[in-house]
Amino acid sequence: MARILTYEEKDTWIHRLSGVTKLVFFLLWTMTSMLSYDTRVLLAMMLGSLVIYKMSKTEWKQVGTVLKFILFFLVINLIAIFLFSPYEGVGIYGTRSDLFHLFGNYWVTKEQLFYELNVMMKYVTIVPAVFMFVVTTNPSEFAASLNRIGISYNIGYSVAIALRYIPDVQDDFSKIRNAQEARGIEMSGKASFSSRIKNTAAIIFPLIFTSMDRIDVVSNAMELRGFGKHKKRTWYMGKKLKRADYVTLAVTVLLSALFLFITFHDGDRFYNPFV
Amino acid sequence: MEAKLKFGVKEVVAVGIGSALFVALTQVQIPLGIPNTALQPRAALLAFLSAVFGPVVGAAVGLIGHALGDMFFYGSAWWSWVFPEAIFAIVVGAFANKYGVKEGAFGKKEIILFNVMQVIGNAVAWILAAPILDILIYKEPAQKVFVQGVGAWLGNVLIIAVLGTLLTVGYAKVGAKSSSLMKED
């Protein structure tokens, strides 16, 4: 259970930014790259993402395994798109220029390659932004930022509890698995399908039931301390917005607006180099 | 009995720890033998939590758990697959009062209702909402996303029918609190 992105304390200007700024950046950045299919915009965003990633001094060992995993899925996805719809690009760009014949009804066209390049860029653009957000934002501060952008502090607290208890739940999980394996449960691919379901149940049932107890314990403790009595609460980990935050926020909002304008000004999300 | 719509201390914690479980279970998958497809026990967890705590907690766990799980394990946020998770939880959780899990009344009739709702909820979420969002947001080929959606639907229905049902039955027996007294004949 090691392959997970986690926060690491460092001293860069990105780490010093308030969680609110990074949250707004993260949301606007993923939404813009979701909406845009304009190759020029995606290219600019990809370069921007990489620059930010470099500046956050994120190391390979922090994100390497996750990145390999993502690339693997990306390749599968691109192949699946081609197999299911080899002429999707032709439909989008309105022209057809064949490159070479593969088999049966499958021709490789320039339009399809270009479309799939765009799909790839869309995914690749988001990744450094997410990495940056996850590894540079202190989880406790994240909850404070959610509250700051107008989300009820109850939800903010739920998120804080989730982040706080993920490692605990993972610990419980490995303990239960070790115990069950010691009792002879087979978890590898050697077991048959139905016994694999049974064995998974043998691990996750105790895990879920102990967690249900934990919900009672934690909520009783919070109730005793008067959680939820007032409409507002203050945050120990909240950072005040500084000048760097305002500048970053302004740049983020302006860039997103510009990117979306470039994408939509001709009434089409796609940039078409074929006509 | 109160309609399970309020959001008090217990619900805040249930969403928090429920989401933590959902994230931790993201990596627990039961491979089917076909590449890139696996049964996801976390779907059973979400159905169970929705049945116990109702639609609001379920939807919040779906949103927070799926978004955080995607971010931590896959370095991205697939919004088109995050929102359907909430839709599913709302459909299953809408009848939380009828299942009576906490009262220990989760019997044959309730099991059937729970499974009918999970089949409908999964269909709305993965055959309808997710592919449509994929097409609208990501402009992926329609045929591909609907095949993926039907695959996810089948997998989730199967795992919830087995693990989700057993989990809820087990919890109703163990965790039954308010009516654990039985009348002797």
Average pLDDT rounded to a whole number, residues A43-69: 84
pLDDT digit string, tens, across residues A131-168 = 888 888 888 888 888 888 888 888 889 998 998 898 89
> Are A178 and A111 part of one and the same domain?
no
CA distance A113 to A92: 12
A39, A165 Cβ separation under 8 angstroms:
no
The count of domains in chain A is 2
* Closest alpha carbon within chain B to A218: B13
Asked whether residue A74 falls in the same domain as residue A49, the answer is yes
CA distance B31 to B121: 23
Residues of chain A contacting B23 with CB distance shorter than 8 Å: 162, 166, 169
Tell me which of A219, A260, A264 to substitute to probe the interface with B (most B C-beta atoms closer than 10 Å). Answer: A219
CA distance A74 to B99: 41
Same domain, A6 and A86: yes
- B 12-31 → A contacts, CB under 8 A: 12-21, 23-25, 27-28, 30-31
pLDDT of residue B185: 57
Is A48 in the same domain as A109? Answer: yes
Per-residue pLDDT at B54: 92
What whole-number distance in Å separates Cα of residue A176 and Cα of residue A130?
31
Is residue A143 one of the residues assigned to a domain?
no
Q: Is A272 left (phi over 0), alpha (psi -120 to 50) or beta?
A: beta
Predicted local confidence at residue A1, as pLDDT: 43
> A45 and A155, same structural domain?
no
* Partner-chain contact A208 B30, CB within 8 Å: no
Q: Both A5 and A86 in a single domain?
A: yes
A70 — phi, psi (to 5°)? -65, -45
**Alpha carbon distances (Å) from A5 to A270, B73, B100:** 33, 7, 38
Whole-angstrom CA distances from B176 to A259, B111, B172, B181 are 55, 16, 5, 10
Residue A81 in any domain: the answer is yes
CB B80 within 8 A of CB B137: yes
Residues A247 and A226 grouped into a single domain = no
Look at residue A64 and tell me if it is in a domain: yes
**53-72 in chain B: CB under 8 A from chain A:** 60, 64-65, 68, 71-72
Pick the residue with more confidence: A273 or A116?
A116
What are the domain boundaries of chain B?
9-174
Claim to verify: residue A45 and residue A134 sit in the same structural domain: yes
pLDDT score for B4? 60
The mean-pLDDT minimum among A101-105, A190-194, B120-124, B144-148 falls in A190-194
Report the complex ipTM: 0.87
Segment holding A101, helix H or strand E:
strand A98-103
Q: What is the DSSP string of A223-257?
A: HHTTTT-SS----TTPPPP-HHHHHHHHHHHHHHH
Q: Is the CB of B138 less than 8 angstroms away from the CB of A34?
A: yes
Vertex B8: Cα angle to B4 and B9 (nearest 5) = 130
* CATH of B9-174 among 3.40.1030.10, 3.30.1180.10, 1.10.1760.20, 2.40.128.110: 1.10.1760.20
For the cut 60, the answer to whether the pLDDT of residue A59 exceeds it is yes
pLDDT tens, position by position, A106-137? 888 988 999 999 988 888 888 888 888 888 88
Confidence check: pLDDT of A105 > 90: no
**A112: containing domain:** 1-138+238-275
Using DSSP's 3-state secondary structure scheme, residue A103 falls into: strand
Q: Is residue A145 part of a domain?
A: no
Query: Could you state, in chain order, the average pLDDT of each consecutive group of 10 residues for chain B (185 residues)?
Result: 68 95 89 71 94 94 92 80 94 90 84 94 94 88 89 92 93 67 58
Residue A8 shares a structural domain with residue A59: yes
The reported pLDDT for the residue numbered B175 is 65
Cβ contact (<8 Å) for A227 and B12?
Answer: yes
At residue B18's C-alpha, the angle toward residues B14 and B24, to 5°, is 155
Q: pLDDT tens digits for A67-100?
A: 888 888 889 889 988 888 888 888 888 888 888 8
Clarify whether residues A116 and A196 are in a common domain: no
Residue A144 lies in a domain: no
pTM, full prediction? 0.87
Residue contact A158–B19, C-beta within 8 A: yes
